[in-house]
């Protein structure tokens, strides 16, 4: 199979064997404290063997705040386990980044969430330092780069959103709302230099009333590129302002459901890609949102709507999603039906596995 998305690509310090990225998704496979486990390593090794060029590890906490089975990088004690995982993935010829996440205080039970408007400068400075320190740990742990989680309902996403009503230097306008991220970038570069990949994930549209649309996110992308971001991964929705924990429309757009068409978010990566071209930036843009197959991914790339093709749930259903297509074994693929049974397990803090894959495994003879 000859496709451009299967050819090597290089940016910053990353040299990928192809343009296919396994996107970050919570697995609940870390232990209760947040240490790497054997099942977590096995999960990523399987996708590395399956043919991905880059694996972006699930949200990894930069702060020590309670969240069951959340992977952690908030202390040096987590480095050895993370290093074991990156070594195992690198042995399969795949590169690995890690998504760094900070979240404000919140209650799943009541829906209460701490407002970023209430954060003091001291708390903001602490948040920034946690991202900087965690990036240093990520490099020590063997990750080829980091991805700042600036999407969905988390702290950095809340700062860059139009819903941010702060009236100080961390609000007021687009530059102000982006300030916490650009200051984190500045601090990271002072620590790790310019030869280490630092990207981010943003919600191309938030799908909440009064929230960001492409009108805002294209300008945000320009600011991030200007200030040294190495790639932008484009997600959508996921804002808890629309309903706690993916119960609203914003949540269903983040984890696109079966009723939505394939490629439902391609217009978001395309819009951001066009905006970056306007300012002469060629940093890679990662697309997500129900990419049907490799042919579909190739069409998106050839049309200039994205540089890297992001896939998540299809490869949760079948780790050999790429390999089977390359080898002409499409009929053997265990296909994701976008039922979001995986999401329901995430919400219950259970190991996140594919319901369909489990049913297929049960039907196989012993």
Dist. CA 296–CA 262, nearest whole Å: 9
Q: Is residue 9 part of a domain?
A: no
Dist. CA 251–CA 238, nearest whole Å: 4
Query: Which residue(s) pair with 56 in the sheet?
Result: 97
Q: Is residue 96 part of a domain?
A: yes
What are the E-state strand segments in the chain?
9-11, 14-16, 20-22, 54-61, 71-72, 95-101, 145-150, 197-203, 232-235, 285-287, 308-311
Cβ distance 187 to 235 under 8 Å? no
Question: How are beta strands 14-16 and 9-11 bridged, if at all?
Answer: antiparallel
Q: What is the CATH number of the domain that holds 216?
A: 3.20.20.70
Write the DSSP assignment of 166-182 as a string of letters. Answer: --STTSSSHHHHHHHHH
Q: Which tokens belong to 327?
A: 């080898």
Number of domains in the chain: 1
Q: Is residue 60 part of a domain?
A: yes
Dist. CA 65–CA 327, nearest whole Å: 45
Q: Is residue 108 part of a domain?
A: yes
Range(s) of the domain holding residue 342: 18-363
> What string of H, E and C letters represents the secondary structure of 54-95?
EEEEEEEECCCCCCCCCEECCCHHHHHHHHHHHHHHHCCCCE
Query: What pLDDT score was predicted for residue 365?
Result: 63
CA end-to-end span of the chain? 33
As annotated, the active-site residues are: 154
Q: Is residue 76 part of a domain?
A: yes
Q: At what angle do helices 121-140 and 79-90 cross, to 10 degrees?
A: 50
Q: Is residue 114 part of a domain?
A: yes
Q: Is residue 46 part of a domain?
A: yes
User: Residue 189 to residues 62, 136, 192, 201, 224: CA-CA distances in angstroms?
Assistant: 17, 10, 5, 18, 13
**List of residues 6+ apart from 153 with CB closer than 8 A:** 113, 238, 239, 240, 241
Q: What is the pLDDT along the chain (366 residues), one digit of tens a residue?
A: 689 999 999 999 899 999 999 999 889 999 999 999 999 999 999 999 999 999 999 999 999 988 888 999 999 999 999 999 999 999 999 999 999 999 988 776 777 788 999 999 999 999 999 999 999 999 999 999 999 999 998 999 999 999 999 999 999 999 999 999 999 999 999 999 999 999 999 999 999 999 999 999 999 999 999 999 999 999 999 888 777 767 788 888 888 999 999 999 999 999 999 999 999 999 999 999 999 999 999 999 999 999 999 999 999 999 999 999 999 999 999 999 999 878 888 877 788 888 888 788 787 765
Closest CA to 201 of 236, 166, 175: 236
Q: Using DSSP, state whether 116 is helix, strand or coil.
A: helix
Q: Note the pTM of the prediction, 2 decimals.
A: 0.95
Q: Is residue 3 part of a domain?
A: no
């Amino acid at each position: 199979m000859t496709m451009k998305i299967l050819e090597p690509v290089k940016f910053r310090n990353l040299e990928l064997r192809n343009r296919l990225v396994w996107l970050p998704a919570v697995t609940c496979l870390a232990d209760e404290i947040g240490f790497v486990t054997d099942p977590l390593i096995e999960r990523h090794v399987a996708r590395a063997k399956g043919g991905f060029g880059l694996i972006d590890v699930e949200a990894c906490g930069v702060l020590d705040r309670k969240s069951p089975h959340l992977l952690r990088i908030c202390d040096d004690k987590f480095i050895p386990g993370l290093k074991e995982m990156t070594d195992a993935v690198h042995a399969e010829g795949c590169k690995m980044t890690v998504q760094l996440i900070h979240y404000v205080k919140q209650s799943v039970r009541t829906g209460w969430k701490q407002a970023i408007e209430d954060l003091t400068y001291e708390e903001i400075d602490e948040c920034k330092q946690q991202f900087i320190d965690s990036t240093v740990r990520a490099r020590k742990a063997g990750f080829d780069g980091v991805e700042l989680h600036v999407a969905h309902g988390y702290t950095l996403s809340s700062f860059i959103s139009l819903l941010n009503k702060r009236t100080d230097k961390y609000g007021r306008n687009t530059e102000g709302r982006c300030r916490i991220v650009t200051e984190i970038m500045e601090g990271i570069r002072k620590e790790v230099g310019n030869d280490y990949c630092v990207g981010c994930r943003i919600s191309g549209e938030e799908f909440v009333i009064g929230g960001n649309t492409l009108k805002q996110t294209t300008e945000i992308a320009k600011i991030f590129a200007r200030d040294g971001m190495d790639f932008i991964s484009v997600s959508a929705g996921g804002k808890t302002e629309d309903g706690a924990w993916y119960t609203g429309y914003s949540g269903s757009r983040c984890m696109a459901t079966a009723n939505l068409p394939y490629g439902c978010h391609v217009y978001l990566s395309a819009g951001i890609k066009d905006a970056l071209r306007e300012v002469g930036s060629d940093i890679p843009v990662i697309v997500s949102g129900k990419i049907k197959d490799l042919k579909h991914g190739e069409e998106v790339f050839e049309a200039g709507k994205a540089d890297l093709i992001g896939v998540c749930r299809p490869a949760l259903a079948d780790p050999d999603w790429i390999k089977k297509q390359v080898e002409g074994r499409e009929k053997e693929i265990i296909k994701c039906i976008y039922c979001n049974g995986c999401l329901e397990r995430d919400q219950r803090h259970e190991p996140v596995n594919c319901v369909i894959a489990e049913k297929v495994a049960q039907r196989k003879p012993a």
